[in-house]
Structure 1
Amino acid sequence: MYRAAASTLTALGCAFAAGLCAPTPASAASPTAALTAVARTPGGNYHLATPTRVVDTRYGQGAPRGTVDPGEVVKVKVTGVAGIPTTGVGAVVVNLGAVAAKSYGWLVAYPSGQAKPATSTLNYRAGWTGSATATVPVGSDGTITVIAGAGSTDVLVDVVGWYSSATSTQTGGALLDPQDPYRLEDTRYNGGAIPAGGTRVEQFGFYDSAGSRLKAIAANVTAVAGSTTSGYLTTWSGTGTRPGVSTLQYARGEVSPNTTNVPVTYLGVDGLGSSRYSFSLTAMGAGAVNVIVDVVGYYTTAADGVGTVYVPMAPQRLADTRIGLGVAKGKRGTNSTAQMLMPTGLVTTARTKAFVGNLTGTGATKSTYQTIWSGTAPTDSSTINIAPGRDRTNGSIVLTPKSDDGARLRYAVFNQNASADFVIDMTGRFDTSPDQPAGASSSKRIVSHQSYLMPAAKGR
Structure 2
Amino acid sequence: MIRLYKAGVIAALNLLVLTGLAVGASPASAAVTCQPGTPQPTNQYPGTTVIATNFESGSLTTAGFAAAFTAGTGTADVSSAQRHSGRCSAYVHVTTDAGSVANFSAPLPAGNNEVYADGWFNITKEGVAGNNVPYFRFFNGTTRFIDVYRSNGGLGPMWLRVAAPDGTLRYTPMKVNVPLGTWHHIVTHVVANGASSTVEVIFDGKLLYSSKQIATGFTAVTKMQLGAEHRRQAGDSFIDDVVIKAGKAAAQLPGTFAPIAPQRFLDTRKTVPVGADKAVSFQVAGANGIPANVAAVVFNLTVTEAKAIGYITAYPSGTVKPDASNVNFRANQNVPNLVTVKVGADGKVALFNRSSGTTHLIADVTGYYVTGTPATPGAFQSLAPKRLLDTRSTTALAGDSTVSLQVAGTNGIPTSAAAVVFNLTVTEPTRIGYITAYASGSARPDASNLNFNAGQTVPNLVTVPIGPDGKVTLLNRSFGRSHLIADVAGYYLGGTPSATGAFKATGPSRILDTRNATAVRPDSTVSFQIAGANGIPSSVLAAVFNLTVVSPQSIGYITAYPSGSTRPDASNLNFSAGQTVPNLVSVPVGSDGKVTLFNRSSGSSHLIADLAGYFLP
**Judging changes above 3 Å, is the alpha-carbon distance between structure 1 residues 49 and 322 closer, same or farther for their aligned structure 2 residues?**
same
**Equivalent residue number for residue 411 of structure 1:** 472
**Equivalent residue number for residue 341 of structure 1:** 406
**Equivalent residue number for residue 59 of structure 1:** 270
| Alpha-carbon distance, 1:80 to partner | 1.8
**Equivalent residue number for residue 218 of structure 1:** none
Greater Rg, structure 1 or structure 2?
A: 2
1:394-445 CA distance string (max 9 Å, x none): 0011211221xxxxx10111101111101001011111369869xxx99997
Show structure 2 runs of 5+ residues with no match. Answer: 1-249, 507-530, 536-592, 599-617
Q: Does 1:446 align with 2:507?
A: no
| Alpha-carbon distance, 1:50 to partner | 3.2
Native 8 Å contact 2:408 2:466 kept in 1: no
2:448 pairs, out of 364, 368, 382, with 382
**Equivalent residue number for residue 354 of structure 1:** 419
Q: Does 1:363 align with 2:568?
A: no
2:389 pairs, out of 297, 308, 319, with 319
Native 8 Å contact 1:82 1:159 kept in 2: no
Give the residue type in structure 2 aligned to 1:42: L
Supply the distance in 2 between the matched residues of 1:352 and 1:337 (Cα, whole angstroms): 22
**Equivalent residue number for residue 319 of structure 2:** 114
1:73 pairs, out of 279, 283, 290, with 279
Supply the distance in 2 between the matched residues of 1:445 and 1:433 (Cα, whole angstroms): 22
1:296-341 CA distance string (max 9 Å, x none): xxxxxxxxx6x40000110111000001xxxxx2111221011221
Give the residue type in structure 1 aligned to 2:383: M
**Equivalent residue number for residue 86 of structure 1:** 292
| Alpha-carbon distance, 1:351 to partner | 2.5
1:102 pairs, out of 303, 307, 314, with 307
| Alpha-carbon distance, 1:152 to partner | 2.6
| Alpha-carbon distance, 1:360 to partner | 0.3
| Alpha-carbon distance, 1:347 to partner | 4.6
2:485 pairs, out of 423, 433, 444, with 423
1:5-58 CA distance string (max 9 Å, x none): xxxxxxxxxxxxxxxxxxxxxxxxxxxxxxxxxx98721010012321111111
Supply the distance in 2 between the matched residues of 1:81 and 1:143 (Cα, whole angstroms): 10
Native 8 Å contact 1:347 1:429 kept in 2: no
Native 8 Å contact 1:125 1:390 kept in 2: no
**Judging changes above 3 Å, is the alpha-carbon distance between structure 1 residues 154 and 374 closer, same or farther for their aligned structure 2 residues?**
same
Native 8 Å contact 2:464 2:505 kept in 1: no
**Judging changes above 3 Å, is the alpha-carbon distance between structure 1 residues 356 and 103 closer, same or farther for their aligned structure 2 residues?**
same
1:234-273 CA distance string (max 9 Å, x none): xxxxxxxxxxxxxxxxxxxxxxxxxxxxxxxxxxxxxxxx
**Equivalent residue number for residue 154 of structure 1:** 360
| Alpha-carbon distance, 1:83 to partner | 2.4
Q: Does 1:432 align with 2:498?
A: no
Supply the distance in 2 between the matched residues of 1:108 and 1:145 (Cα, whole angstroms): 8
Native 8 Å contact 2:465 2:505 kept in 1: no
Partner of 1:432, secondary structure, is coil
**Judging changes above 3 Å, is the alpha-carbon distance between structure 1 residues 148 and 451 closer, same or farther for their aligned structure 2 residues?**
closer
**Judging changes above 3 Å, is the alpha-carbon distance between structure 1 residues 142 and 433 closer, same or farther for their aligned structure 2 residues?**
farther
Q: Does 1:46 align with 2:257?
A: yes
| Alpha-carbon distance, 1:349 to partner | 4.4
The root-mean-square deviation of aligned C-alpha atoms, in Å, is 3.1
**Equivalent residue number for residue 310 of structure 1:** 380
User: RCO greater where, 1 or 2, for CA within 8 Å and sep 6 or more?
Assistant: 1
Native 8 Å contact 2:407 2:413 kept in 1: no
Give the residue type in structure 1 aligned to 2:284: V
Instruction: Report 1:208-287 matches (<5 A).
Output: none
* TM-score, reference length from structure 1: 0.52
Supply the distance in 2 between the matched residues of 1:346 and 1:453 (Cα, whole angstroms): 36
Give the residue type in structure 2 aligned to 1:79: A
Partner of 2:325, secondary structure, is coil
2:461 pairs, out of 391, 395, 399, with 395
Native 8 Å contact 2:408 2:415 kept in 1: no
Instruction: Report 1:4-43 matches (<5 A).
Output: 42-43=253-254
Partner of 2:467, secondary structure, is coil
Give the residue type in structure 1 aligned to 2:490: G
| Alpha-carbon distance, 1:453 to partner | 10
**Judging changes above 3 Å, is the alpha-carbon distance between structure 1 residues 333 and 167 closer, same or farther for their aligned structure 2 residues?**
closer
**Equivalent residue number for residue 336 of structure 2:** 131
**Judging changes above 3 Å, is the alpha-carbon distance between structure 1 residues 451 and 77 closer, same or farther for their aligned structure 2 residues?**
closer
* Pairs aligned (count): 261
Supply the distance in 1 between the matched residues of 2:450 and 2:282 (Cα, whole angstroms): 27
Native 8 Å contact 1:359 1:372 kept in 2: no
**Judging changes above 3 Å, is the alpha-carbon distance between structure 1 residues 149 and 450 closer, same or farther for their aligned structure 2 residues?**
closer
Supply the distance in 1 between the matched residues of 2:482 and 2:407 (Cα, whole angstroms): 22
Partner of 1:413, secondary structure, is strand
**Judging changes above 3 Å, is the alpha-carbon distance between structure 1 residues 58 and 349 closer, same or farther for their aligned structure 2 residues?**
closer
Supply the distance in 2 between the matched residues of 1:349 and 1:141 (Cα, whole angstroms): 28
**Judging changes above 3 Å, is the alpha-carbon distance between structure 1 residues 86 and 433 closer, same or farther for their aligned structure 2 residues?**
farther
Partner of 1:101, secondary structure, is coil
Supply the distance in 1 between the matched residues of 2:436 and 2:534 (Cα, whole angstroms): 24
Give the residue type in structure 1 aligned to 2:341: V
Native 8 Å contact 1:103 1:126 kept in 2: yes
Show structure 1 runs of 5+ residues with no match. Answer: 1-38, 169-174, 176-304, 324-328, 404-408, 455-460
| Alpha-carbon distance, 1:161 to partner | 0.3
